[in-house]
Structure 1
Amino acid sequence: MKLASHKSGRDGQLLVVSRDMSRAIIAAEIAPTLQAALDDWASTAPALEQLYASLNEGSAENSFPFDPAQCAAPLPRAYHWADGSAYVTHVELVRKARGAELPDSFWTDPLIYMGASDAFIGPRDDIEVESEDWGIDFEAEVVVITDDVPAGVSVEDASDYIRLVGLVNDVSLRNLIPAELGKQFGFYQSKPWTSFTPVLVTPDELGSAWNGAKLSLPLRATLNDTLIGKPNAGVDMTFDFPTLISHCAKSRSLMTGTVIGSGTVSNVGSEEGSCCLAEVRCLEIIANGAPSTPFMSFGDRIKIEMIDDNGLSIFGNIDQIVKQYQPPT
């Protein structure tokens, strides 16, 4: 099934969305928010599935046209957001461009950082940044949402705790990153709000493209109507989602509604293009000695989407404009 959140307060109002994303219905009688639904998934999921079936059959009462512009992120805020760098080929490329060696451990020990989850933004919300000098970049990723995950869960069992799948634009401010990483204490100022696709879906909606660990379809990133890349998210994923979940839960349990990100999707050789501008620029540095592609500017438009084998959008698209933020005076 497909679930979304209508903009309402800080946590949104839970919607069930039809498979073709033409219609939606408020699911308040089952759960007021998506987090509430996840907290009692054993009870809410069957009721939501029934509502989803009636919506697809055209028999649901009180349904209305689905409008992604009225959507918040499906989880407008979450208790936990852990983002990985599962495509080590991406990290290898970035380090190669600056003449740095890739430690062997990067191929066996996942890179994970804890991001800000106090507020996610919707698929049509602007990317507000104070200065273009900060190096505004998009990052197209796949994410999963978990149930309660016990500490010490094995990789083999971790897939049992995946409840929902979606896409995000994990915006990075590239020119702020070096100074932050130079402190050897991780990202903070360089990672503004993350945006989500209009809907999250249960894994059964993905058919054969989902094997319980990876989503094997191209992830499309289009900047100002130019396709930047469409690498396959199931190819060259060094660390699959069960591995990332097991890594995150090594010494602590994970709470229901935890968001686990794949990191920027990337394929070896980048023949299908890239899911961020940093990778494009790294390829230019390697080939020509210097980058020629700029980071995003105010007014730029980024679209992120995944299309199934029938040509249909699975999650709806992220479609955002970069706008200049004016601090309070």
Structure 2
Amino acid sequence: MKLVTYIAKERALPISSGRLPKEARIGWVQEEMIVDIGLAQQWAVFNHGLPKTQILPTDMQCFLETGSQGLETLSQVAETVDGKDLRSLQVEGKLVARSMQTVTLLSPLPTPRSFRDFYAFEQHVKTARAKRGLDMVPEWYEIPVFYFSNPYTMIGPEAAVEKPWNTEELDYELEVACVIGKAGKDLSVEQAMDYVAGFCILNDWSARDLQRKEMKVGLGPAKGKDFATSLGPWLVTLDELEDRRSENELDLTMVARVNGQELSRGNVRDLTYSFAQMIVQASRNCPLQPGDLIGSGTVGTGCILELGTDVHRWLEPGDEVELEVERLGVLKNKVVDSSC
């Protein structure tokens, strides 16, 4: 399933990162429509006698915490409404499903419990280090490494990205992320994928001049990343990706465009460390929780830093960045001037 967090456009309010509007709800994508999970369950119970063994939550974090039981209940609800005329279904005058054009999609997971972003594509690491005059360190080949980023700066598709007022080198980063679906600690590679709720596209926006200064201190990145991370457009569950999985490898083409021009292209299978290996590392001596977000790091060629400004200048207000990953959709955002 493709799970979303959304808000009806007629009820939309100004949305700031880190603050989820009380009107936000969760649903799934079906037939170019968003089916509301809570209303669909009510309809299925009242009209088809579906057992009300569990009331499904209306926000993503709480839904993830229901684990396999929640997914099983959701599957029963989806089977009940499957084949029905979605446009005609109502509960107490409320539409069970809405067309895409009538909703605003937020980040599918508006505020992750935590956000670990890994550094797992060798091509990106080699090129990025070479740009700073650095060779690869042998330790990179020994363990997958990550940094913690800010879970309160998540934004969704079509949301504006404010260019930090103190940067001249704004960059995008083409990544994929997984969301943890159940608690676990000290996991094995064989167990790891069983703890994944689903995958989505991630854009780890970066202020390269700020980041460059921070990295010289040896404790970054910090403010070079601490302003926006795009996630979406939806959370795709593993069952939709089975035909593109081979053990722990995912075969999904990744593309980035700026103002319609393709700049980056890669594949999730190019990862040096698989998502299973990343999850194992994240879970060492530390319990993972439902709603934890794990990013892959940037795919090779997946940012202006790698490509060089002779290929494309740094991003400016008015630029539209579009990340597309097979099966995971398109994540589009526009850069705007800072409101500061």
Normalised TM-score (structure 1) = 0.86
Determine the structure 2 residue equivalent to 1:288. Answer: none
After the TM superposition, which of the residue ranges 114-123 and 1-10 deviates more from structure 2?
1-10
Determine the structure 1 residue equivalent to 2:235. Answer: 200
Q: Does 1:118 align with 2:158?
A: no
Determine the structure 2 residue equivalent to 1:294. Answer: 313
The amino acid that maps onto 1:277 is: I
The alpha-carbon deviation at position 179 of structure 1 amounts to 1.4
The alpha-carbon deviation at position 34 of structure 1 amounts to 1.0
The amino acid that maps onto 1:15 is: G
The amino acid that maps onto 2:67 is: W
2:333 aligns with one of 303, 320, 327: 320
The alpha-carbon deviation at position 255 of structure 1 amounts to 1.0
Determine the structure 1 residue equivalent to 2:98. Answer: 64
The amino acid that maps onto 2:280 is: S
After the TM superposition, which of the residue ranges 93-102 and 155-164 deviates more from structure 2?
93-102
The amino acid that maps onto 2:160 is: D
After the TM superposition, which of the residue ranges 165-174 and 62-71 deviates more from structure 2?
62-71
The alpha-carbon deviation at position 318 of structure 1 amounts to 1.2
Structure 2 distance, partners of 1:78, 1:68, is 26
The amino acid that maps onto 1:306 is: V
The alpha-carbon deviation at position 50 of structure 1 amounts to 3.0
8 Å contact from structure 2 (residues 161, 334) kept in 1: yes
Determine the structure 1 residue equivalent to 2:44. Answer: none
Decide which structure has the larger Cα Rg and report it.
2
Structure 2 distance, partners of 1:80, 1:27, is 25
Higher strand share: 2
Distance 1:224 1:93, change over 3 A: same
Determine the structure 2 residue equivalent to 1:278. Answer: 305
Distance 1:53 1:221, change over 3 A: farther
Determine the structure 2 residue equivalent to 1:3. Answer: 3
Distance 1:179 1:55, change over 3 A: farther
Q: Does 1:225 align with 2:237?
A: no
Secondary structure, aligned partner of 2:324: strand
Q: How does 1:152-231 map to 2 (within 5 A)?
A: 152-191=186-225, 192-211=227-246, 213-231=248-266
8 Å contact from structure 1 (residues 128, 322) kept in 2: yes
CA RMSD for the aligned pairs?
2.0
Secondary structure, aligned partner of 1:297: coil
Structure 2 distance, partners of 1:148, 1:68, is 32
Distance 1:159 1:190, change over 3 A: same
Secondary structure, aligned partner of 1:76: coil
The amino acid that maps onto 2:258 is: L
Determine the structure 2 residue equivalent to 1:43. Answer: 69
Structure 2 distance, partners of 1:209, 1:150, is 25
Distance 1:155 1:25, change over 3 A: same
Structure 2 distance, partners of 1:228, 1:5, is 29
Structure 1: give runs of 5+ residues left out of the alignment.
267-273, 285-290, 308-313
Secondary structure, aligned partner of 2:286: coil
Q: Deviations over 1:24-45 (max 9, x none)?
A: 1111252111111110122211
Structure 2 distance, partners of 1:35, 1:68, is 24
Determine the structure 1 residue equivalent to 2:280. Answer: 246
Give the fraction of aligned pairs with identical amino acids, expressed as a percent: 24
Structure 2: give runs of 5+ residues left out of the alignment.
13-18, 42-55, 90-95
Alignment size in residue pairs = 303
Secondary structure, aligned partner of 1:105: helix
Secondary structure, aligned partner of 1:321: strand
Q: Deviations over 1:62-97 (max 9, x none)?
A: 222124960110011111110001102211112223
The alpha-carbon deviation at position 59 of structure 1 amounts to 4.5
The alpha-carbon deviation at position 54 of structure 1 amounts to 4.9
